[in-house]
Amino acid sequence: MSARRGYIAGIAGPVVVAKGLSGVKMGEVVYVGEDQLVGEVVRISSNYFTVQVYEDTSGLRPKEPIIATGKLLVAELGPGLMSVTFDGIERPLEEVRKQIGDFVSRGVKVNALPRNVKWHFKPLVKKSVKVEGGDVIGEVQETPLVIHKIMVPPGVDGSITWIEEGDYTVEEPVATVERDGEVFEIKMMQEWPVRTPRLFKKRLPSEVPLIVGLRVIDTFFPVAKGGAAAVPGGFGTGKTVLLHKVAMYSDSRIVIYIGCGERGNEIAEMLEEFPQLKDPKTGHPIMERSIIIANTSNMPVSAREASIYMGVTMAEYYRDMGYDVTLIADSTSRWAEALREIAGRLGEMPVERGFPAYLPDRIAEFYERAGRVVALGSPERVGSVTILGAVSPPGGDFNEPVTIHTLRFVGAMWALDPELAYRRHYPAINWLKSFSQYAEIVERWWAKNVSKDFQQYRRKALRLLTVASEIESIASIVGESALPDNQRLILLTSEILKEGFLRQTALSGEDVFCQPRKQFLLLKMIMDFFDKTYVLIRKRVSIEEISRMPEVFEMMRVKEDERGIKAVEELYARVMKKLDELAEKYGLTLGGGDMRG
C-alpha cells in the first residue's frame, strides 16, 4: 500500500496548514517536510487540515510533502521504560545522544523501547487457559526493583494455544491466543493512544495516604494514593526542590517525573542527583523505579503539550500491573502556555489572559486520570495513579486562570509562600492557605497504623497555628510584651511548631525524610508541652520561666538528632518531667490544658 501524501500550504510557527491528503483523521500522526518532522492533526476542513508539529519548524517551505501514518499519537508500553529519560514524544534521549550526539536534531527517529534487547519471560499461565483483556500471563524482571507484568491487550480474548518461557525481544510473540479460529499473537509491547485513558474494572475510594516524609504534608495536608494535588508558587518558592524530594522519598512503587517547560539546568541537576540516590527499603538506585520525561523550556512548545499525556499514559500502564504510581508534572503552567500558543496560531478565540476557552476541560481531563482502581483481568490487582501538578502563577498571583481552574479539580493544595522561602523555611508551604480534602479520610489510616490520638493532635495544632496568626497581628501593633502570658504561650508554642515540626532539612541528614511514627511523636511532644504549660500559666507561673527552659530550644532541634525516634522519646520524657518539677515547685497539680486565648 503506497503512502498517503499531501503537501504544506502554510506555516505559522509550530502550526502547519496542509492540503492534498484525503481521509485524514483528527489526532492522526503525520510526517511533515523533507526531514519528516513528527506532527499531529488538530483541525480538519473540507479543503485543508492543520497540524501541530512536535519539532522545530525552522526552514520548512510550502509544497514540502506531508505523509500520513494512519495512527494516533501513541505510547509504546513494555519492558525497557524504567530508568530511561525520554523527551515529550517518547524518544529516549540517551539513544538519541548515541546516534547523533549531544544535541537533538530534527526528524530523528528512535524507538521508545529497544528492539535488540532480550528479556527473560516467565509464564504465569498454561496452555489451553482462557484469557481476556488485562489478564497477566507472565512477568519480566525489568529492573531489580520492578517486576513487569505482561498483560493481554484490551479487546483480545480466547484460549492460549502456545506460551513458553524464554528470552524475547518486545516485538517477538511470547504467547498465542485463539478465538473462533482467529489467532492473536501476544507480545511484550503494547501501544496506547496517549489522549485516551486506559480502561479499568472499577474505581475505588482513595483511603491510604501517600507518605512523602514531609511533616507539613503528611500530617496537615496529606494527599491520598490515587488523589491529586496542586503545588502553586511563584518564582523562587521551591516548587522544583519540593517535588524532587517527593519523587525521591515517597512510598509509591513507581515515580514518573515530567519536566514540562522547566529550565534545562533544573532537569540536568535532577538527572545528576537521581542516579546517586538509594531506595531506603532496598538500597538500590531510585532510578530503577523511575521514568523521567524531559521537555525543557528550549524544546518545541508542541511537544511540551504532548509530554503530559505521554507521562500519564505510562503511569496508567504501571497502575494496571497493580503498582502505586506517583506522577509529577512540573509545571502545568508551562503546559497551559503551550495550549495558549497553539490556540493563538490556530486563530481560536482567547478568553482569560489569552488562554483558550477549553483550558478548564483540558485541566480536568488530566487530573481526572488520577485514581485508585481495580485493574482489568485476573488475578485481581489494585493500583493507583497520584498526580502532583506544580503551578507557576505569574507574579505569584493565585487568582490567575491556571491556578483557579486547577483548584477545581484537585483534592489538596500545597500553597508555597515567598516570605517563607526567603526566610529559608523549607518546605515553604503556607499552613494558613493550604488545604486537603483527604485529611479526614486518611486520619483513619493514621489511627490504625500510628496512633488513635492522631486526629485530636493534628486538629489542635492547626487550630493553635490559626490562633497564633491572629495574635501575631495584634502583637505587631502593641508589641509582644504587652500581651497576656497565655497569648504569649500560644506564640511560643507556634514558634516551636514552626521550627521544630513544620521546618525540615532540604539536602541531607536525619530530617530529610520523617517517618510517620516520628511525625506523631514530635507533634504529641509539642502539644502536650502546650497543654501542661497552659495550666501553669493559668496558675500564675510566668511565661519567662517557661521560655527559659533549655528543653524549649531542644524541641526545635531534636528532629535533626541522628538517633531518630529514640531521641524524641527521651526528650519527651525530660520535658514532661521538667514541667512536673516546675508545678511541684509552685505546689500545683498539672492536668490537661485547653486553648483559650
CATH of domain 119-188: 2.40.50.100
Helical pair 359-367 and 332-345, crossing angle rounded to 10 deg = 140
Between CA 175 and CA 591 the distance in angstroms is 70
Q: Which amino acid makes up residue 467?
A: V
pTM listed for this prediction: 0.93
Q: Once rounded to an integer, what is the mean pLDDT over residues 287-315?
A: 88
Domain layout of the chain by residue ranges: 5-72, 119-188, 202-437, 454-585
User: What strands lie across the sheet with 182-187, from one edge to the other?
Assistant: 130-131, 158-163, 173-179, 182-187
User: Is 80 exceeded by the pLDDT of residue 263?
Assistant: no
Is the domain defined by 454-585 classed in CATH 1.10.1140.10? yes
pLDDT level of residue 44 (50, 70, 90 thresholds): very high
191: helix, strand or coil:
strand
Over the stretch 479-507, which tens digit does the pLDDT of each residue have? Answer: 888 899 999 999 999 999 999 999 999 88
User: Is 90 exceeded by the pLDDT of residue 440?
Assistant: yes
pLDDT at 545: 92
pLDDT level of residue 593 (50, 70, 90 thresholds): very low
User: Is 90 exceeded by the pLDDT of residue 395?
Assistant: no
- Among the residue ranges 240-249, 266-275, 316-325, 557-566, the one predicted with the least confidence is 266-275
pLDDT at 596: 34
pLDDT at 305: 84
Same fold? 5-72, 202-437: no
Average pLDDT, the chain: 91
Q: Once rounded to an integer, what is the mean pLDDT over residues 96-107?
A: 76
pLDDT at 591: 55
Q: Once rounded to an integer, what is the mean pLDDT over residues 334-348?
A: 90
Q: Once rounded to an integer, what is the mean pLDDT over residues 585-597?
A: 57
Name the nearest CA neighbour of 472 among 491, 459, 489, 456: 491
Pick the CATH number of 5-72 from 3.30.70.1520, 3.50.50.60, 2.40.30.20, 3.40.228.10: 2.40.30.20
Query: CA torsion, points 448, 451, 453, 459, in degrees to nearest 10?
Result: -90
Over the stretch 151-177, which tens digit does the pLDDT of each residue have? Answer: 999 989 999 999 999 999 999 999 999
pLDDT at 22: 83
Q: Once rounded to an integer, what is the mean pLDDT over residues 21-50?
A: 92
Over the stretch 354-390, which tens digit does the pLDDT of each residue have? Answer: 999 999 999 999 999 999 999 999 999 999 999 999 9
pLDDT at 285: 85
Of the CA atoms within 13 Å of residue 62, those in its CB half-sphere come to 6
Pick the CATH number of 202-437 from 3.40.50.300, 3.40.50.2300, 3.30.530.20, 3.30.70.980: 3.40.50.300
pLDDT at 229: 97
